[in-house]
A and B are shown apart, each in its own frame.
Chain A
Amino acid sequence: MRFLPLVLANLGRHKRRTVLTIISVALALFLFASLRSVVTTLNSGAEVSSASRMVVQNASAIVFTLPQSYANRLKAVPHVKAVTWANWFGGKYGDGRKFFATFAIDPESYVAMYPEIAVPDSQKEAFFHERTSAIAGEGLMKTFGWKLGQNVTFQGTIFPGDWTFTIRGVYHPTTKAIGDDSFMFRYDYLYEKYPAQVTPGWFILQIDDPSAAPQVAKAIDDQFRNSPAPTKTGTEAAFTQGFATMWGNVSLLMNTIGMAVVFAILLVTANAMMMSQRERTSEVAVLKTVGFSNVMIFSLVIIEAAVISLVGAALGLLTAALLPKLAGFDTGGFLPGFHVTAGTAVIGAGVALLLTVASGLVPALGAARLPVVQALRRVE
């Protein structure tokens, strides 16, 4: 650490080059962290899911519904403690440009099933007692500037017509992986308007023992195998994972781009380090002459590379973590709960170390192995 001033002085010699290189590294890490966060956010659905929740859907396809009568039969299956159901509504609000999830839910049982969706008790009561009431995520409230108690009108796409809801509750997700921009209203309101068509889209079960999940799934699917609506039962994690895989190769794409970015910047940094060392050949010779050991010279160069990489990486990662909040960046409703995870930050730090080694190694070795006499001869 005694030599830190020397390293800093070296960095300060070409201030412009140092600053540009640091910014390059920062940009690379910013991109890397942002792209990776897209992937982690997509996969975060599986984290939210509770191991004790299972989802029952129609085996044919997600667009098909299940008979209401299944609710009681599901309740009778061993290990099942509670049952609730929901239906995808697919409405449009305003010009329909902003996409958000709208569900019809069975009020009491659904709210009890999802403690992660926190609603104040008084608002919960209001929601339970008014047929046209709804609860919305706090993010959604902000996006549209809605207020508690306001009436909002949606255009139904699957269930045609104008639907007016009164917002009686605002929920706050207790975990980041749940989006704060969903809209939920009462299933009985939907049923009242379309009694002939509305049946639950999927059932959610609470089981008493997570390890019994495979048996429960088998018991349910066997029971309904030969009915008009055969079921597909799985853990909630598998259900949300199914949505994540619908993005196809997005994860691969993001990771590939992330790698390309890091590699491109590695070239820039390595080049800058090499240029610096080439210009300093004679100085290194002088340092060696006055008694600096090869190891010492080697570490000086590596430390210089480390300062550039680490400062750049810290800047980039901080920006990636803070920018979405500061700029109010909105992912168009597609990535609820977008944030940089601790894992991403750790990997980012690893990338910075890798950059240090990869960009500093060649110049550092060159400097350490520099033959003093020859190098000095070049000094006029």
Chain B
Amino acid sequence: MKIPFVYNVRSVLQRPVSTALTALGIGLVVAVFVAMLALANGFAMALVGTGSADNVIVLRRGADNELSSGIGRDAISIISSFPHVALAADGHPLVSPETYVVINVPRVGADTLAIANVVARGVSDRAFEVRRNIVVTEGRRFQSGKSEICVGQKLVGRFQNTAVGQTMRFAGRDWTVVCHFTAAGSSFESEIWGENEQFQGVFRGNVFQSLTFRLKDPKGFAEARRALQDDQRIQVDAHEERAFYADQSQLLGSILRFLAVMVTSIMAVGAVFGAVNTMYAAVSSRTPEIAVLLTLGFQPRSVLVSFLAESAVIALIGGVIGCLLALPMNGVVTSTTNWASFSELAFAFQVTPQLLLEGLIFSIVMGVVGGFFPARRASKMPVVQALR
């Protein structure tokens, strides 16, 4: 027969301080666990979401990021005429030859030290069509031939002079901010966009860094890549846009995840020890009670399960506290450097329901592990001695 669950709940309530301390300890572990994974999640999402599955980014052969790439104008027109490139409604190819530089931009309210590297991307007018997730939230797109720029939403408010109508100065020229845009949380939101022909003149001369085009056949990447690499006139590598940006997140993403797992597993050991101590104390202070239960005919197995459940309940309370502690982190924007391009990358913590569930499961596991030996001792108690 099973011991009623309410017995455990009441026992837990009998020792409020001890229970609360143990639960809080476990709760902190869960909070750190959830928050760190939310950080890793948010970082990976920002870069994974940057690319589209049916876009291809073309770089110079051997270059592993846009910063170190370079493609001449002749190569751009050759690639644009490839049959694998999708066409827009007006019959022009959906390509965006882009210049890519990293510039120094001062942060808001900061001294000269707090200058961050921000990506300035020169795009063609087609870029807004090639990349479906770009949405202009305020103002209008920059006009061709003018010294105008659009600023990613995540830069707004964090860097100086980023409001629409204000003027930013870089590369020896003044640029009027004419719009803000979002890009579904991706790393484009941490960039400044202007017209490629304008940026080319002031930055790196007559060369583009990359070319992004939409595939005519969404599944035709392998074929397009082969065609591009076999063409003797050009020296380029083609990458799936999504995979290309996702790769950039790999190094830092895996560092963050490793850190999360290492830190929380070490913390978890400490918290489990706390649970072990608490449960042993609970068992020894209730020795006569347990003996009575056994005398009444409850199976040792039921006693074991009962104490495991008690430990799990304490841990679960902790897990809930931990999730509640971590929840406010959701959406908090933080920034780090994308080491693939040495540039600022802002992203938001992403606390997903799945992550919360994992946190709760994690807490229960801690409780069960911590409660096992004390529960076993309770179930194996010699009745006669205990009753004495």
Contacts and interface: CB of A to CB of B under 8 A. Distances in A.
Given A61-B101, A275-B18, A264 B281 contact: no
A160 B237 CA distance: 13
A274 B62 contact: no
A21 B270 CA distance: 8
Interface string A231-267: 0101000100110011111100100010011011101
A35 interface: yes
B191 to A, nearest CB: 14
A31 interface: yes
A60 interface: yes
A30 to B, nearest CB: 7
Given A21-B277, A249-B336, A268-B270, A155 B62 contact: yes
Given A238-B113, A264-B25, A268-B271, A248 B101 contact: no
Given A241-B113, A246-B337, A253 B172 contact: no
Given A61-B117, A99-B251, A261 B267 contact: yes
Nearest to A229: B172
B28 interface: yes
Interface string A16-41: 11001101100110110001000000
Interface string A201-245: 000000000000000000000000000001010100010011001
Q: Which of B101, B104, B114 has the most CB of A within 10 A?
A: B104
Contacts, number: 157
B170 A60 contact: yes
Contacts of A16: 276, 280
Contacts of B103: 60-61
A27 B269 contact: yes
Contacts of B344: 246, 248
Contact of A253 (B29, B39, B266): B39
Interface stretch (B63-71, B129-137, B147-155, B238-246): B63-71
A90 B68 contact: yes
A157 interface: yes
B250 to A, nearest CB: 10
Interface string A142-176: 00000000000001111011000000000000000
B270 A246 contact: no
B316 interface: no
Nearest to A25: B270
Contact of A60 (B104, B114, B335): B104
Contacts of A274: 17-18, 21
Given A157-B64, A275-B281, 11 more contacts: A27-B270, A31-B263, A158-B63, A246-B116, A247-B337, A248-B334, A249-B334, A260-B267, A268-B22, A268-B270, A334-B255
